[in-house]
Amino acid sequence: MSDSDRNPTPNADSEDATSASEASEHAQGEAVAAPDPIEQLTAERDKLKDQLLRTMADFDNFRKRARRDAEDALRRGREDTVRDFLPIVDNLERAVEASRGSTDVAAVVSGVEMVLRGFDDVASRMGISRVVAKGERFDPTLHDAIQQVESAEHPPGTVLTEVVAGYRIGERLLRAAMVVVAKAPAPQPAAPASDEQADSE
């Protein structure tokens, strides 16, 4: 075996060293070029946090705007309702003024009836209707019984009198009617036996 076979040439060693050095530099370059996962996650977290804060601020603004819009709608609804009832108040005031010097009761009654018709017109435009009570079967969802009266002429549970009118808006009850309801008469006690019957026995 020759010397050249036993000892590799110095040129081959230096080539191997150069290749190893280049590979090491290349690996370091890749490590430097590859982004740090912690920095990536931190940047992503900051971005998501910023988006969350913006979304929360947008939602808070939306909630405030919705509350303000609801309050405005409620106020406008009240204004419209009061505006519709003002002519009724005007007519009531006229009826009171006219009745002060009048001895004609029929004219006063006629004026008050006119005001009630005005109220009914405004109420019906708003979808408000009166709860039918008198002569109807007592319904606890529509009527409040304030008294029960014995009645032989009416079946038990029949509304005899409406004390305070009830109203609903659409299908929703605004106020239950206060009513007097019929109940079955109490059984009459048996008549005492007469003295003659007692003597004959």
The residue from 111, 126, 141 where one domain ends is 126
Assess whether pLDDT exceeds 90 at residue 7: no
Q: Are residues 135 and 76 in the same domain?
A: no
Tell me, yes or no, whether 44 and 105 share the same domain: yes
CATH number of the domain residue 179 falls in:
2.30.22.10
8 Å CB contact between 152 and 185: yes
Confidence of residue 140 (pLDDT cuts 50, 70, 90): very high
Query: Which tokens in the block code for residue 201?
Result: 């026995």
Using CA atoms in the order 22, 28, 33, 34, what is the torsion angle rounded to 10 degrees?
130
Q: Which pLDDT does position 183 carry in this prediction?
A: 92
Residue in 138, 183, 179, 141 with CA at minimum distance from that of residue 162: 179
Condensed to tens digits (0 to 9), the pLDDT of residues 30-40 reads 555 678 889 99
Residue 60 scores a pLDDT above 70: yes
Q: Are residues 93 and 173 in the same domain?
A: no
Handedness of CA 147, 152, 157, 158 (dihedral sign): negative
142 and 161 inside one domain:
yes
Q: Where is pLDDT greater, at 25 or 72?
A: 72
pLDDT of 56 reads 96
pLDDT of residue 112: 86
The mean-pLDDT minimum among 22-26, 67-71, 157-161 falls in 22-26
Same-domain status, 181 and 165: yes
Tell whether 108 and 149 lie within a shared domain: no
Residues 122, 59 share a domain: yes
CATH number of the domain bearing residue 108: 3.90.20.20
Polymer length in residues for the chain: 201
Instruction: Please give the tally of structural domains in the chain.
Output: 2
Q: How far does the chain reach from its first CA to its final CA, in angstroms?
A: 163
Q: Does a structural domain hold residue 81?
A: yes
User: Same domain, yes or no, for 43 and 103?
Assistant: yes
Its domain, for residue 51, covers 36-126
